[in-house]
């Protein structure tokens, strides 16, 4: 699996290019490279701190959320293109991803 970059807007609104590789969980990447407060629950779908808002093309490119992710997205009243980064395992095809980290609730 190769390395690639994904375009992320951080919570201050600044654009960042993050180094990623296939097989990595998106939440780990955001936590390690941007903000340690992302992923407070460790990826067990109970915190919502890993909420990201994708652009439309990126959202369509990803497999749809599973029922547990969907449930938390609804509980968070998340917009349609939002996902929980702890549930997203990157593949080499995800070099096209563009997303923003949601502001803390
Ligand atoms: S890390 Fe807690 S819901 Fe994703």
Question: Considering the entire predicted model, what is its pTM?
Answer: 0.93
Give ligand 1 pocket residues (Cβ under 6 A). Answer: 27, 39-41, 43, 45-50, 84, 86
Dump pLDDT digits (tens) for 7-16: 999 999 999 9
* C-alpha 93 – ligand 1 centre gap (Å): 23
Burial category of 6 from C-beta neighbours within 10 Å (exposed 0-12, middle 13-18, buried 19 and up):
buried
Q: How far apart are CA 71 and CA 97, in angstroms?
A: 23
* C-alpha 3 – ligand 1 centre gap (Å): 24
Q: Which atom of ligand 1 is nearest to the CA of 42?
A: 1
Helix (H, G, I), strand (E, B) or coil at 64: coil
Dump pLDDT digits (tens) for 33-77: 999 999 999 999 999 999 999 999 899 889 999 999 999 999 999
Unique residue bearing structure tokens 């917009």: 79
């Amino acid at each position: 699996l190769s390395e690639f970059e994904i375009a992320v807007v951080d919570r201050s609104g600044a654009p960042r290019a993050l180094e990623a590789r296939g097989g990595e969980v998106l939440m780990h990447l955001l936590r390690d490279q941007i903000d340690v407060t992302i992923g407070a629950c460790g990826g067990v779908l109970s915190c919502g701190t890993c909420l990201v808002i994708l652009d439309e093309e990126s959202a369509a490119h990803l497999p749809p959320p599973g029922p547990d992710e969907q449930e938390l997205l609804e509980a968070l009243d998340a917009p349609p293109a939002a996902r929980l980064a702890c549930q997203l395992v990157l593949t080499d095809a995800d070099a096209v991803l563009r997303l923003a980290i949601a502001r803390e609730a």
